[in-house]
Amino acid sequence: FNTPCFQFVRAAKKRGIKTVFFTWENILRGHNPVYTAFEKYVLENSDAAVAGNKEAEEILKTKGFKKEIKTIPQYGLNSEDFTAEEKTGPVKIVLYAGRLAPEKGVETLIKAAAEVPGITVDMAGTGDAEYTLKLKKTASDLGMGERVVFHGHCGRREIADIMARADILVIPSLTTPNWKEQFGRVIIEAFASKTAVIGSSSGEIPNVIGDAGIVFKEGDDVELRDVLKRLVSDPAFCRALAEKGHKRVMDNFTNKIIASRMSELFLDVVNAGSGEQTE
């Protein structure tokens, strides 16, 4: 919710136009009186809502929203932007792609990977310079200095190439009082690249992964180590997860699929009360 959302809903109501709003909010928290008043107006005068994740849907219900709610994340992808070739050979390359920040759990990954012989870790992303130096020192202190590669900022084509080379993507996010993972777009990018996915239990990660990857308790580097060892020691299992992930993204997270689901919702809202049915 924000001021423009309130303004659009109010303007639409004055003109008799139906409205649908979107929210990512997956932490229930208090707000200032002005924001609360805007939010109340939107909830009472909108015709449907789109939640970006399951927890956002539950929060809307907790706040008393009675109209239709659809959970439709807005981060789809075009599958042709990624290389979905079947990987062969041993499992060696682990990828982290995202911000280098404490809440992203990168230290958990480095600690876990340090105890898995034979793998390298690609870090694709940037962050605060001081924190990045801390991560490099942690890797060095754990004997991972030569096995962790910090790529820095990667463009779309470069990240797609790195994703295609990786055997496993790890998204090790940590929940904080004010933040938890709202979706995790890199998960579906890995799925599209036939790269196996391991994710923490933070926020929406388990729901995005579904049964097409492995979820570990956030912050638990020992459990993550054991999961990595399992996939490294059983390449066939790792490749099978990658195949399940590819099917999952094609069935649920392409831009075409998301656009279709949004279109169905808009038609439902437009036709509500008219007696018409959408096909």
50 falls within a domain: yes
Q: In which band, very low, low, confident or very high, does the pLDDT at 274 lie, cut at 50, 70 and 90?
A: low
CATH of the domain at 107: 3.40.50.2000
Q: Are residues 246 and 258 both part of a single domain?
A: no
Residue 144: inside a domain, yes or no? yes
- In this structure, the answer to whether residues 162 and 235 fall within a common structural domain is yes
> Does residue 96 form part of some domain?
yes
Judge if 61 and 85 occupy the same domain: no
pTM over 0.75: yes
If you average pLDDT over every residue of the chain, what do you get?
95
Mean pLDDT along residues 13-22:
96
What integer is the mean pLDDT of 156-176?
A: 96
Same domain as 241, residue 260: no
Is 87 contained in some domain?
A: yes
Which range has the worst mean pLDDT, 1-5, 24-28, 224-228, 246-250? 1-5
**Residue 118 lies in domain:** 79-251
In this structure, are 196 and 245 located in the same domain?
Answer: yes
Is the model's pLDDT at 62 over the cut of 70?
Answer: yes
Which helix (H) or strand (E) segment is 121 a member of? strand 120-124
Q: Total structural domains in the chain?
A: 2
Residues 221 and 105 in one domain: yes
Q: Do 27 and 53 form a contact (C-beta atoms < 8 A)?
A: no
pLDDT confidence tier of residue 273, bands split at 50, 70 and 90: low
Closest among 250, 243, 213, 245 to 80, alpha carbons compared: 250
| CA 278/CA 264 separation, integer angstroms | 8
At 272, the pLDDT band (50, 70, 90 cuts) reads confident
Sorting pLDDT into bands at 50, 70 and 90, what band is 135? Answer: very high
* Cβ contact 50:262 at 8 Å: yes
- CATH classification of the domain holding 20: 3.40.1380
Region 61-81: mean pLDDT is 95
Reported as a single tens digit per residue, the pLDDT across 49-59 is: 999 999 999 99
pLDDT at 30: 85
Predicted confidence band at 278 (pLDDT cuts at 50, 70, 90)? very low
pLDDT digits (tens, 9 = 90+) for 217-248: 999 999 999 999 999 999 999 999 999 999 99
| Strand arrangement of the beta sheet that strand 148-152 belongs to | 148-152, 120-124, 93-97, 168-171, 196-200, 214-216
Residues 128 and 241 reside in one and the same domain: yes
In a domain, 279, yes or no: no
279 has a pLDDT exceeding 60:
no
β-pair partners for 254 = 77
* Residues 114 and 65 both lie in one domain: no
* Same domain? 125 vs 140: yes
119 lies in the same domain as 203: yes
Q: Are residues 143 and 244 in the same domain?
A: yes
pLDDT in tens, 80-107: 999 998 899 999 999 999 999 999 999 9
> Are 91 and 232 within 8 A, CB to CB?
yes
Q: Are residues 12 and 149 in the same domain?
A: no
